């Protein structure tokens, strides 16, 4: 046990004001906050700051302009570029001037549908500089999903690139963006396209601008000043899967975000100015927002932007090579990525040959890290492999071993201990705390710590719902338990959200899509265990009368989910079944479906309406794999 960790956690819970005002000193405020928290105004009321200034300009002003800010390593284009803080300041300034030229002002929204390239980072920071609100949409989402986000965020400007590069595939973005804009009710004023060497996009009409031409045209414009915004002004909106087909727009506020991220770098990850940090995620996800872009730059470290996959770009040694090449001190990835590496290099030959350079720890998040994967990674790398838990809603870890506070206690299967700022309880259905060892709903005491969401964009009622089941507590949607030594074990979701290769998806949303496919009478989508991706979605469809013999049905179901939600949904299997297992009151027994596809023992529940259905399903699963 680490005393530093225990002291920090206790101080954060007993004296949150003093704790967080102390942490706020890591940030440069144009007006310091009067207090740490106000129930109406949130964290750091009265404080004014600019997040981009804190990420970039202040380091240059402190004489660190020559220090490396961003390393772009792209095995898919055989490119490595290095950007110093002074260069980053220049680049951010130029994109800010471009956006200002297009009329973007404080509070305006800018949607980014961009690949993992430096201009994406420049653009996020440029929005922050202007006080504009960015909303980055992951490239794996289909046009309809992009359209939903455009309609909700109502951006003035959409930034995109001619293509994304996904392993060996080049994905043209322009047609996807055009389709999304045609589907959306909201009309954006401007689309700016960054042309990549691999593929040129054709621009059409006055709405579209070529990134470079716009940059040239505004080259003489002054750099817009960094706008001092209120601590509770929104920095970004990040959409994540809820339990319905409508994504939830998590709103991140400037003040709490900056303070929490800076604190986490120093106290969890052990990263400060001059260190190299690499989060192998995508800027389209919360991990990318927090730990590729903002957190490393807030503390003056060097961040790595990696455009590649754990395997195949070019081989399973790519992680280790990148760590050694750039001197990465702390590495962050998803368990699924380690499983992918292990699958292709089970003996760890690449690892043995390349090594892990100066790397001191590997952090995993995004899904439960299975003990076997951790054991493999620890044995092969000789490094502490630290599972930690968090959510888009929180923006930074809620459960971890705070390694930088000297707490390296780990127990495989557990995500660690409550991070300072977070008070957890395991509750039963009526909100009563459950004893140690018993699994229940994982809840966090309100108010949530700095950095966590305080509303959903256009949906305060949706936000309030998270606090409705257990008054005074935030319902995380996860189930778990504390063991006798205080380790928190997160066991899975209590709702219909699944994690596929570290990507958060809603089976409810997939069901909504499948239900509209011609010939489908009824359906259920469940998450089945998968050795590589952790979970994968599987659809069960009951054909409409007369459509039972339609052999194209499974393929059409799969295509519909891919077409409407996106490739990232990874729905590759649909079973046609005569009936779904239901209770007598008509509730679909999804758990039974899950057990059947997982090949687990599945006693027929006494509440089942038709006891013959499970055997029919087993026959379908064994005989009809698509
Ligand atoms: N743009 C367009 N398409 C994308 C995409 C993007 N940014 N990201 C993924 N896709 C596509 C993939 O090409 C794939 O398409 P396919 O079905 O035609 O092959 C599909 O979406 C599913 O992608 P993915 O789940 O990534 O599977 P994969 O087989 O390509 O790769 C892994 C498997 C494990 C290597 C990969 O998922 C991975 O690296 N996961 C780690 C994820 C992560 O870091 N998450 C962040 C949480 S911290
Ligand atoms: P996201 O919002 O995409 O970060 O997904 C958050 C969800 O991912 C959580 O609610 C968990 O269900 C799951 N998750 C993230 N990290 C972990 C972890 N370390 N262990 C178990 N589940 C995790």
Q: Closest ligand to 309 CA?
A: 1
- Ligand 2 mean position to 478 CA, how many Å? 8
pLDDT of residue 625 exceeding 50, the answer is no
Continuous H helices in 498-612: 507-515, 553-564, 590-598
Q: Which residue's alpha carbon is nearest to atom 14 within ligand 2?
A: 367
Q: Is 154 exposed, middle or buried (0-12, 13-18, 19+ CB in 10 A)?
A: middle
Find out whether the beta carbon of 502 lies less than 6 Å from any atom of ligand 1. yes
**3-308+388-480 maps to which CATH number?**
3.40.50.12780
Is ligand 2 within 6 A of the CB of residue 181?
Answer: no
Q: Which ligand is nearest to the CA of 281?
A: 1
What stretch of H or E contains 257? helix 254-264
The finding on whether 171 has its CB within 6 A of some atom of ligand 1 is yes
For the cut 60, the answer to whether the pLDDT of residue 624 exceeds it is no
Residue ranges of the chain assigned to CATH 3.30.300.30: 501-625
- 202 Cβ partners below 8 Å, 6+ apart? 174
pLDDT (tens digit per residue) in 8-48: 999 999 999 999 999 999 999 999 999 999 999 999 999 99
Pocket test for ligand 1, best of 532, 568, 569 (most atoms within 8 A of CB): 568
Q: What is the pLDDT of residue 300?
A: 98
Which listed ligand is nearest to 336 at the C-alpha? 1
Closest residue CA from atom 45 of ligand 1: 502
Q: Out of 3.20.20.150, 2.60.34.10, 3.40.350.10, 3.30.300.30, which CATH number does the structure's domain 501-625 have?
A: 3.30.300.30
What pLDDT, on the 0 to 100 scale, is given for residue 242? 81
Q: Report d(CA 272, CA 470) in Å as an integer.
A: 38
Ligand nearest to the CA of residue 240, numbered in listed order? 2
Q: How far is the CA of 568 from the centre of ligand 1 (A)?
A: 6
Is pLDDT of 626 > 70?
no
Closest-CA residue, ligand 2 atom 4, reads 391
Task: For ligand 1, say whether the CB of 540 is within 6 Å of any of its atoms.
Answer: no
Model confidence over 598-617: pLDDT tens digits? 999 888 888 899 999 998 89
Ligand 2 contacts CB of residue 391 (under 6 A): yes
Tens of pLDDT, residues 526-557: 999 999 999 999 999 999 988 778 899 999 99
Residue ranges, CATH 3.40.50.12780, the chain:
3-308+388-480
Residue 15 sits at φ, ψ, to 5 deg, of: -130, 70
How are beta strands 234-240 and 248-253 bridged, if at all?
antiparallel
Residue 364 CA: nearest ligand 2 atom is 19
Alpha-carbon torsion 19, 446, 294, 229, what sign?
negative
Name the token pair of 81.
Answer: 């570029």
In 465-478, which positions are buried (b, 16+ CB within 10 angstroms) versus exposed (e)? Answer: ebbebbeebbbbbb
Residue 258: pLDDT band by 50, 70, 90 thresholds?
very high
Cα–Cα distances (Å) from 126 to 93, 103, 112, 397, in that order, read: 7, 13, 12, 26
Three-state SS annotation for 280-348: CCCCCCHHHHHHHHHHHHHCCCEEEEECCCCCCCCCCCHHHHHHHHHCCCEEEECHHHHHHHHHHCCCC
Residue 163 reports pLDDT greater than 90 = yes
pLDDT at 620: 85
* pLDDT value, residue 330: 98
pLDDT digits (tens, 9 = 90+) for 89-117: 999 999 999 999 999 999 999 999 999 99
């Amino acid at each position: 046990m680490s005393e530093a960790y225990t002291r920090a956690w206790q101080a954060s819970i007993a004296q949150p004001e003093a704790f967080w005002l102390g942490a706020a000193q890591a940030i440069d405020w144009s007006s310091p906050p009067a207090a740490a928290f106000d129930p109406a105004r949130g964290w750091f009321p009265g404080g004014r700051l600019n997040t981009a200034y804190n990420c970039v300009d202040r380091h240059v002003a402190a004489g660190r302009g020559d220090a490396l800010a961003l390393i772009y390593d792209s095995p898919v284009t055989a490119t490595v570029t290095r950007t110093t803080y002074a260069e980053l300041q220049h680049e951010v300034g130029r994109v800010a001037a471009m956006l200002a030229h297009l009329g973007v002002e404080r509070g305006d929204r800018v949607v980014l549908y961009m690949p993992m390239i430096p201009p994406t980072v420049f653009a996020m920071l440029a929005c922050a500089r202007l006080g504009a609100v960015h909303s980055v949409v992951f490239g794996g989402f289909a046009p309809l999903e992009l359209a939903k986000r455009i309609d909700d965020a109502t951006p003035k400007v959409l930034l995109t690139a001619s293509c994304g590069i996904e392993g060996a595939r080049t994905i043209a973005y322009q047609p996807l963006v055009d389709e999304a804009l045609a589907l959306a009710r909201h009309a954006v004023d401007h689309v700016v396209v960054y042309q990549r060497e691999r593929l040129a996009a054709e621009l059409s009409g006055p709405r579209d601008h070529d990134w470079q031409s716009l940059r040239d045209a505004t080259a003489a414009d002054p750099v817009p000043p960094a706008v001092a915004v209120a601590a509770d002004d929104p920095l970004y909106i990040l959409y994540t899967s809820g339990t319905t087909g409508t994504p939830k727009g998590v709103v991140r506020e400037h003040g709490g975000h900056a303070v929490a991220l800076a604190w986490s770098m120093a106290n969890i990850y052990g990263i400060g100015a001059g260190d190299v940090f690499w989060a192998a995620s995508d800027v389209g996800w919360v991990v990318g927002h927090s730990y590729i872009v903002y957190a490393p730059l807030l503390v003056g470290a060097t961040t790595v932007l990696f455009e590649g996959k754990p395997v195949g770009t070019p081989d399973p040694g790519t992680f280790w090579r990148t760590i050694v090449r750039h001197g990465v001190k702390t590495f962050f990835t998803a368990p699924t990525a380690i499983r992918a590496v292990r699958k292709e290099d089970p003996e760890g030959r690449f690892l043995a040959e390349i090594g892990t350079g100066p790397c001191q720890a590997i952090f995993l998040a995004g899904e439960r890290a299975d003990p076997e994967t951790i054991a493999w990674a620890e044995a092969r790398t000789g490094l502490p492999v630290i599972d930690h838990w968090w959510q888009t809603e929180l923006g930074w870890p809620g459960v971890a071993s705070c390694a930088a506070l000297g707490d390296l206690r780990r127990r495989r299967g557990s995500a660690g201990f409550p991070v300072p700022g977070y008070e957890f309880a395991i509750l039963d259905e009526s909100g009563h705390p459950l004893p140690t060892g018993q699994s229940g709903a994982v809840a966090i005491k309100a108010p949530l710590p700095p950095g966590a969401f305080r509303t959903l964009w256009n949906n305060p009622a949706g936000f309030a719902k998270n606090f409705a089941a257990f008054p005074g507590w935030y319902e995380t949607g996860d189930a778990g338990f504390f063991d006798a030594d205080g380790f928190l074990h997160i066991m899975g979701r209590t709702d219909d959200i699944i994690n596929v290769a570290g990507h958060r998806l809603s089976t409810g949303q997939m069901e909504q899509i499948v239900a509209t496919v011609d010939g489908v009478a009824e359906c259920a989508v469940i998450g089945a265990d998968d050795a590589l991706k952790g979970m994968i979605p599987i659809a069960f469809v009951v054909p409409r009368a007369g459509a039972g013999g339609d052999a194209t049905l499974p393929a059409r179901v799969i295509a519909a989910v891919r077409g409407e939600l996106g490739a990232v949904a990874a729905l590759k299997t649909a079973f046609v079944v005569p009936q779904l297992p239901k209770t007598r009151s008509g509730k679909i027994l999804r758990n039974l479906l899950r057990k059947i596809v997982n090949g687990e023992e599945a006693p027929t529940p006494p509440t089942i309406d038709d006891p013959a259905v499970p055997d029919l399903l087993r026959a379908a699963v064994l005989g009809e794999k698509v």
